[in-house]
């Protein structure tokens, strides 16, 4: 399927209108030349192979589960030896158009992101040098790297292969897509349509969530840092970004209904909890530090509006995940 790249414009009524540009997805394998398909397939093999973890027990897919839009179902994923990660596992889908990665944005390319979990002691806990030696000793991988890259495995080619597979994980066949871009007015019920309007206006969601994947290249403090119970400083933990206290990457919303729990710390179990939080953040985190001014006042959503907004968010689920 061809991926629609979506641009946003605010109409005079304040409702967001979507203008699709039907360009090809960068990652869908059937539209790729043969050499790119081979690279993507090699990346797929590596993504699902525990050979890249220190004790050979987990793979990338252990935490990025395909059935859940390549996210996890727990607050914190478990790495080698049952070690808990530091932040909730985000979806590995719909990353092809992004250029910042991880909750704190510490990776500036998908290739860089792909390698980081391998060496992380809480995740796969294997040095890249050891990982490359393992791949070199494996005849199948050695031959595949020679075929794709015309060389033995290297850090660069390992990152490129996994990133190629991740770029193939694009989705654009949700009820919302079929309504907005296929002209099928019956693709979604009225609550979804009302919820989309709320998303675009009263809910103020499009201040942060817009574009093809309903995200942006920015970091926001939504009020989940209070320096006490909630003490993950987010982007401020990186050198040079100390002033960005409590800010985290704005996540995409495609397939959001199947990627619970939510937020960098997984503190919300359901979409309704997320909506309730945004409706009145002070009720959940009364002493937030450095919270974005867009959330200074309660939204004042009614129960019906909350239900409609949730219906809209659920309509962003790709058909492959609708059970």
Q: Where are the alpha helices (DSSP H) in 238-317?
A: 271-279, 281-284, 303-314
Q: Per residue in 165-195, is it b (16+ CB within 10 Å) or e — as a string?
A: bbbbbbbbebbbbbbbbeeeeebbeebbbbb
For 283, phi then psi, to 5°, come to: -70, -25
For the chain, give every domain's residue range: 29-167, 172-321
Tens digit of pLDDT per residue, the chain (323 long)?
A: 334 433 333 333 334 433 333 233 334 445 567 779 999 999 999 999 999 999 999 999 999 999 999 999 999 999 999 999 999 999 999 999 999 999 999 999 999 999 999 999 999 999 999 999 999 999 999 999 999 999 999 999 999 999 999 999 999 999 999 999 888 999 999 999 999 999 999 999 999 999 989 998 899 999 999 999 999 999 999 999 999 999 999 999 999 999 999 999 999 999 999 999 999 999 999 999 999 999 999 999 999 999 999 999 999 999 999 97
The CA-based angle 88-74-267, given to 5 degrees, is: 60
**Which CATH architecture is the domain 172-321 placed in?**
Orthogonal Bundle (1.10)
The whole-angstrom separation of Cα 127 and Cα 194 is 50
| Chain length of the chain | 323
| 172-321 has the same fold as 29-167 | yes
Looking at residue 51, what DSSP letter applies? G
Looking at residue 251, what DSSP letter applies? P
Assigned fold of 29-167: Cytochrome Bc1 Complex; Chain D, domain 2 (1.10.760)
pLDDT at 34: 75
pLDDT at 31: 59
What are the structure tokens assigned to 212, written together?
């093809």
pLDDT at 23: 33
Q: Are 69 and 112 in contact (CB under 8 A)?
A: no
Q: What is the pTM of this model?
A: 0.89
pLDDT at 308: 98
The whole-angstrom separation of Cα 195 and Cα 308 is 4
The whole-angstrom separation of Cα 103 and Cα 247 is 9
């Amino acid at each position: 399927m061809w991926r629609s790249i979506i641009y946003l414009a605010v109409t005079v009524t304040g409702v967001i209108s979507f203008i699709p540009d039907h360009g090809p997805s960068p990652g869908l394998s059937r539209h790729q030349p043969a050499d790119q398909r081979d690279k993507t397939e090699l990346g797929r093999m590596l993504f699902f192979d525990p050979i890249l973890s220190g004790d050979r027990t987990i793979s990338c897919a252990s935490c990025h589960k395909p059935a859940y839009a390549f996210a996890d179902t727990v607050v914190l994923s478990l790495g080698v030896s049952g070690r808990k990660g530091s932040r909730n596992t985000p979806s590995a889908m719909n990353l092809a158009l992004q250029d910042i990665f991880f909750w704190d944005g510490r990776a500036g390319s998908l290739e860089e992101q792909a390698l980081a979990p391998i060496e992380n002691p809480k995740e796969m806990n294997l040095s890249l040098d050891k990982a490359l030696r393992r791949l070199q000793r494996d005849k199948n991988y050695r031959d595949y790297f020679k075929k794709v890259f015309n060389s033995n495995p290297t850090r660069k080619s390992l990152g490129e292969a996994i990133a190629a597979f991740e770029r193939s994980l694009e989705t654009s066949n949700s009820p919302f897509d079929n309504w907005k871009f296929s002209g099928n007015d019956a693709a979604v019920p009225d609550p979804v349509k009302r919820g989309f309007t709320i998303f675009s206006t009263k809910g103020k969601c499009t201040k942060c969530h817009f574009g093809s994947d309903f995200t942006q290249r920015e970091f926001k403090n939504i009020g989940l840092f209070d320096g006490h119970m909630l003490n993950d400083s987010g982007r401020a933990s990186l050198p040079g970004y100390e002033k960005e206290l409590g800010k985290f990457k704005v996540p995409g919303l495609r397939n959001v209904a199947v990627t619970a729990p939510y937020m960098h710390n997984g503190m919300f179990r359901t979409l309704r909890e997320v909506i309730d939080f945004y409706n009145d953040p002070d009720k959940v985190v009364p002493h937030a530090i450095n919270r974005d001014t867009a959330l200074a006042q309660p939204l004042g959503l009614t129960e019906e509006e909350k239900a409609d907004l949730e219906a809209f968010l659920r309509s962003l689920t790709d058909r492959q995940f609708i059970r």
